[in-house]
Structure formats: C-alpha cells, structure tokens
Structure 1
Amino acid sequence: MPTVSSKGARMPESPIRKLVPYAEIAYKNNKTVFHLNIGQPDIKSPQIAMDAVAHHHLDILAYTRSEGSEPYRTKIAAYYNRNNIPVNAQDIIVTTGGSEALLFAMGTIADQGDEIIIPEPFYANYNGFATASGVKIVPVISKIEDNFALPPISEFEKLITPKTKAILICNPGNPTGYLYSREEIETLVKIVNKHDLFLVADEVYREFTYDGEKHTSILEIEGMSQNGIIIDSVSKRYSMCGARIGCLVSQNNKVIQTALKFAQARLSPPTFAQIASEAALNTPQSYFDEVISEYKDRRDTLIKLLEEIPGVKVGHPKGAFYCIVELPVKDSDLFAQWLLEKFDVDGQTVMVAPAAGFYSSEGVGKNQIRIAYVLQKESLIKAVNILKAALKEYRD
C-alpha cells in the first residue's frame, strides 16, 4: 500500500480548525455555538471594495503579473509611505494571502534544516509553513506572567547557530495581542544586524492598536533595508479574509527577485481579489476609527469578565483582536472538545482554540486557550458566561 510523505505525517493540525467536526455535531443537535476560535471578523468589508468587483469592466478574467498588478502595487507602496515605510512598487510581491507570503519568505531565505527563531506563542500556521518548507523553528518563550513581552537579548543570542537564518515576529501578535514597543523592535534590529540575519515581521494587524499605542514597522527603523521582510494581508485590515490577498515587502532586491521565482511558479494572484483589494485602499480613516473603537470596547468587556472567573489568568492585548487565557484545567484540548460534545447552557455553547498548537515547545500551553473577540459584545458576554459555567461544572 502506498504511504504518505513523512513531511505530510509531520504536518500539524490547526488548533483553530481541528475541532470543527465537533462543532458540526453540536449544530446537528440544534445547539448554538459561539465561535471564539477563529479570527474571522464580523465587521462588514468596505463597500467600496465590494462595488469594485460588482461593477468591473473586464471582458476576460485573465492572469495578472506574477508579482501582482502594477497599479495595485503602486497603491500599496503609497499606503506604506503614508505609514512611514519607505518602499516602492518594485519592493512588493502580491501573494495569495499572507500565508503564501510567509511560504515565499521561508523558501527565499532558508534551506532544508535551517532555523528560524520565533517568540512563542505564535500564529499556529507558522508550524505548518515551517514543516512544508523544511525549516526548523527554534522557539524563545514569552510568558503570560510578563504579558508576552519580548524576552531578553540573551535569550535570543544563546539560540543563534550557523543554521539560524532569521527571527520571525508577529506584531501586533496573534495569538497574544502583544504590541512590540519601538524599543523592542530596535533591539531586534540590533540582533539581526549583529548576526547578519533576516528579521521577518508579520504585520497584518498593524491598524489595530489600543490605549494610544502606536505600531512600529521594522522598515521604519534605519539599517533594515537588507535585513527586513514584511508579511502583510488585507484579510483582517479590511475584513476581507476570503479575498486571499497579501503581500511580501522588502527593500532587499535579491529577496524580491528570489521570491518572484516562487510567485512565477504559481502563476499569479487572483484577479477579482486584487480589484477588491486595490479599491479597499481608498477606505476612509473613519472606517478604521469605528472598527478600532469597537474592538477596544469588546476587549475591555472580555478581559473584565474573564478576570472575574476563579482560577483564570488573562493576557492583556494591546493590539489585534486575540488574547491568551490560562484556565484551571490540565488539558485545554479535552476541555474544548467537551464544551462542544457535552456542555451547553440553554442550548448554547462555545468553541475555543486550544493554545498548545500556538507553541512549538512540547507540553507548553496545555492549559491555555486563544480567544478571538470578533463577536458583537452581547455575544461575547453570553460566551464568557457559558465558559464560566462550563469551568465550574468541568472542575466539579
């Protein structure tokens, strides 16, 4: 009998999606499931983007350039320049979501067996992308007790070996919501310059920061023209997850020319989605002001209610729309499955993402979950009350 590849066997399941079959059973049993597991915003996509597709003037739905259409890349560059990121259209490759940008980045900078240092917990799919690319993730642990702040330089430097090619961060962070300060970004810049490494920054949540805090891009910092790679996406910025449009950005021409070969191999990004994404760049600031205010209100409500539950510890996010929650349970995977299979309050239950899948260190995060506060506040309140009742019954 033929066998699957060892790489395929090693591919991790998504902690965000692996419980879907249990949710479907809950639906068949006429339960309402509050989805706290997935970062699918309930915010409406900008109407200007939807209209651009509805009123297109194409006669042929043709390929675009492998690096994305030039008008779109020119407008992306203008957006970055407004945000103090000095790039031009030639520094940008449009990708099929931020996911493809990450795959292109790993394929461009690392060979089989090379290493990338990542502060954990991190976006769960980094594990999958690394496995697919033959790259080894070397974790440096950030802790909930420190609100997932950047570990000391010494923790990074003792992990650097001849195989190390890059440090990868997500800023603001998924799953923690942690927002790196300018000083922390400057610290990382010093490390990569000292050791001649790349610094890859997943900045897809750039717009979503709270409490007067500002996002600092790696390409704002002097000395990053050859070492910096940005990963970006329209998915969360414009609530356009289904568009599957992202981009890879670097001022390093060799990086761009190498990544372009990967882009050519998959031909081109989707045409209609580029039309929508190009139009979305004209979204007024008022859209973001309203969205940020809404997310902040949800965050404040969620954190307050979670901290009232006995035995629960919560990270305090400064950006994005996620938080890590430590529960008084031994195994959050079993608890999350039990929630869907065995528990409800008046026919309602919740779906969460077990956090162990957001770590690569074995056994870490087993009693944690990630919550995405992408539901309306009334639903969030119901969901947390259900979680509180579930924890009491589960422990009893």
Structure 2
Amino acid sequence: MDTPTADAAPTRPLAMSDVAARAGVSHQTVSRVINEHPNVAVATRARVLAAIEELGYRPNGAARALATGSTRTIGLVTGNISQYGPAQTMVGLERAAREAGYFLSVSVLDDFGARSITEAIDRLAAQSLDAIIALSTYDDAVRALRQVQTPVPLITVRATADGLGPAVWVDQEAGAALATRHLLDLGHHTVHHVSGPAGSIEAALRERRWRAELEAAGAPLPSVLHGDWWPASGHAAGRELVARRRGGERVTAVFVANDQMAFGLLNAFHEAGLRVPEDVSVVGFDNVPEAPYSIPPLTTIRQDFVELGRRGMQLVLGLLGGEQARPRPVAPQLLVRGTTAPPARGGGRGEG
C-alpha cells in the first residue's frame, strides 16, 4: 500500500498572519484594513488588499464581528414573495445590501400573522444581526410590529407611513389618484373599482383614494368588487361587471387594484365580446413585466419596487451610521398604454 507523501498532507487554513507576511506589514495593520479603519496609508492598504487577493484569504466572520461589534448582516422578515411586489422589493434590498458589503438573512413566512412575525423577529434578533427589516403590507403584521421590542434597529418597508418608526413606502393613494383621474379626464362618467383582499393596507389605501377622487369630481360611486390579487378573482370581477352592463348599469371604466387581477378582468371582457378600450377602459396597478405584452398592452400605475428596497437599505445603513432617519415615499407613475381611451357613444349600457 502506498504511503501518503508530504505533499498530500492537508494544509492549514489561511490566517491573517499569512497576509501580513505576504504584504510585509503587522498583523494589526491587516486587521485595520479588513475592518476598514481609516488610519492606514493608501499604499499600505493597497499592498494588504493585493496580498488578500493573491492568497485568496477570507476573513473569519466571527472574529471580525468581535473586533468591530458588527456582523454586517441584516435580517429581513417577509411573506408572500410569490407576488411580484414583495419579491422585487426583496431583490432591491439584497442588491443594496450587497453593494454596501452586508449580507441579508431572510425569513419568509407562510403565515404573516401577529404570532408568526413576532416569533420570526425574535429568532433574527437572537442571531446578533445589525438591524432587522420587516416587509409588511397587512394590518395584522403592522399591529404585531407595534408590540415588538428588539435590541437592534427595526425598519419597516410597507404601504404607508403611520408613525410606526423608521420606514419607507410607496405612496399608494397618489397612485390610485393617478389611475382614477386618468379615466375621469378621458371623459368617463365614473370609474368602477376592483379592490384587493380585506386586511391589505395597500388595497384599503387605493380604494380610499379612488372613492375620494370620485366624490371630489361629483361622479357616481359604484359598489366595489373585491379580489385576492390573483387573476382568477379579476376574472370573476370581470364577469360581474359584464352582468351589470347587461343589466343596464353604465360600465365604461375600471380601475383594478393590481395588474394580475386586471389580466383576469381583460380575459372575462374578451370572453363576453367586450372590446378594450372601445367598450371599457381598464387601468391596473404595479406594472408587472407582463403588462406591456397583454392584448391590448395594459395601462397601469408603476411602483418601483427595487427603488423601494434600495431606499429601505439606505435608511438602515444611515441609522447604523448614526444618521437621523429621513424617510420619504417612493412616487408612483402612470404608464398609459392601450387599455384606456375616451368612452364610446352609447354609454356602456347593455352592450356585450
């Protein structure tokens, strides 16, 4: 049997002393460079970084945390990432964290109720993170967050500012106003609305501003239809609106609380022989990637979810750096495409 040679013996892991020897500096200088200490000469810092790159050295995270008091890790509690908005917001958070040299530790909850979110935040807080972000757009989650006490900063990314502490959000009411006014300005006598699920802060805000815009314009206030954010519920709402038209109700414009439900609504109108936008105009909300490719392309309200995530991370890093929080909302944008037009003569009664 062959005996192992000296070359086959396992080598020890690289240490900071190896970097120091390669760069010709002290162990303490290497530590200062790794921990981004300002009092290191530019040439010396460059020499140490070159040695780290040549050797492929990776600093020990636990040792670095002991030295700096920072794990450079931020926790995120979120739910429902199957939906486009939360998923893209998480992308923005992770990208901004990575660019700043931080790691994002994510806890995805199937149930975003008070008990689940409290337990998740407690688990993250026990990991010695630098901060925690909660992505919350439902009433029960916000109520739970009001009760949470953490040893590190807690920042929320959600639908609105409500005095809950440091937060970033998209101005949901401004988006609903853009959608409703666009349809009224086209000449529609009123705007029907398909809202989101009960308990959703976003859905409630969009519905509230839709209602306020109609009241301000002196327009009739149709009864609201409710969905669950998914296309099937939009399809059901579309069939209900078709039935209302056939029953004599004047239905010429619909503001749908998200694009996924709007796709289902468009399908129901197509099945009933209604033309969009000739017979009925439709506006969605979110600007999902499929929106420009529906038939016709969907007019919608754009939410910049990646920017929302980026601002959330900026808020976190600012707080960790001792800055005063200056959160501001992300402004929505109306994207006019092919599903909206002035109402046709005939008023939308009984056709289809």
Q: TM-score, normalised by structure 1?
A: 0.31
Over alpha carbons, which structure has the higher Rg? Answer: 2
Q: Which structure is higher in RCO with an 8 Å CA cutoff and minimum separation 6?
A: 1
Q: TM-score, normalised by structure 2?
A: 0.34
